[in-house]
A = this chain, B = another copy of it.
Amino acid sequence: MSQLAKNLENSPTAARRQREREARYQTILACAEDLFASEGYHAASMEKIARKAEVSVGTVYFYFKNKEDLLVKLLNDISFHIRELVGKEFSRSEATLSGFEKAGLAFFNEFCLKHPEKIAIFFRESVGQSAEVEIQRKKIFDKIITDILGALSRLFDKMGWTFKNPLAPEVMAVSIVGMYERVAYQYLIWQDRSSELAQVGQDALDFIVGGVQSLRAESE
């Protein structure tokens, strides 16, 4: 059979193969995510990950350069999710307090509530593992901080407010992220109080709004 004919015949096969590859890639990543979050990065051995994904260790290494690569890819994923859900919300917020608030709630309710594993990985398991990972973390972190800074500056602009001092916006952004982190982490602990979590998110947001306002210059 000619190569051409084979290609023609194989084409659907190739497509299927492609799909299967993609699916397997995602399966492995998802299993790694689960294990990193539940057992920790170190305790989650490559073999455990492989077993959970129902593939062999070799297969994991076919799709990912090494263990660190899994973590980096995961961070990319998380970054993408966060920005998709939250960053955009911040960046297109209508530069009003209520818009700002809406974006914050999106983070709590859409992200933390639904993907606690991602929180655990981003804020905990990926810390201090290696230079490469650290670079990734910093990049993502910076993006988020930048998003928040942007939202704050547009908000203040629009409202005609000014910052109490030059450091204020940065401190706010960092503070907010810190709150997010811990409140989100608390979500992991408060699984049994899930009915109250919406209220928790709202309260946290009120706290933020109050905090933000107290960092605008008084003389206005």
A57 at the interface (CB under 8 A from B): no
For chain A, give the interface size range: 35 or more
Binds B, one of A23-31, A79-87, A121-129, A154-162: A121-129
**Does any Cβ of B come within 8 Å of A183's Cβ?**
yes
Q: A57 to chain B: closest CB distance in Å? A: 12
Give A residues with C-beta under 8 Å from B. 39-40, 42-43, 124-125, 127-129, 164-165, 167-168, 171-172, 174-175, 177-183, 185-186, 196, 199-200, 203-204, 206-215
* Shortest beta-carbon distance from A3 to chain B in Å: 15
Residues of B within 8 A of A124 (CB): 124, 127-128
Q: Could you tell me if B128 and A171 are in contact, using CB atoms closer than 8 angstroms? A: no
Q: Please state the number of chain copies in the assembly.
A: 4
- The listed residue (B168, B186, B203, B213) touching A203 by CB distance below 8 A is B168
One of B171, B180, B203 near A171 (C-beta < 8 A): B203
Chain B residues near A186 (CB-CB < 8 A): 174
Which residues of chain B are near A182, meaning CB under 8 Å? 174-175, 177-178, 181-182
Q: Is the CB of A200 within 8 A of B167?
A: yes
A175 proximity list for chain B (CB < 8 A):
179, 182-183, 204, 207
Q: Are A209 and B214 in contact (CB under 8 A)?
A: yes
B residues less than 8 Å from A206 (CB atoms)? 164, 211, 214-215
Q: How far is the CA of A215 from the CA of B196 in the complex (A)?
A: 16
Q: Which residues of B contact A42 (CB under 8 A)?
A: 42
Q: Provide 10 A-B residue pairs closer than 8 Å at the C-beta atoms, listed in order of the A residue.
A: A42-B42, A43-B128, A168-B203, A175-B179, A175-B182, A175-B204, A177-B182, A178-B178, A206-B215, A209-B214
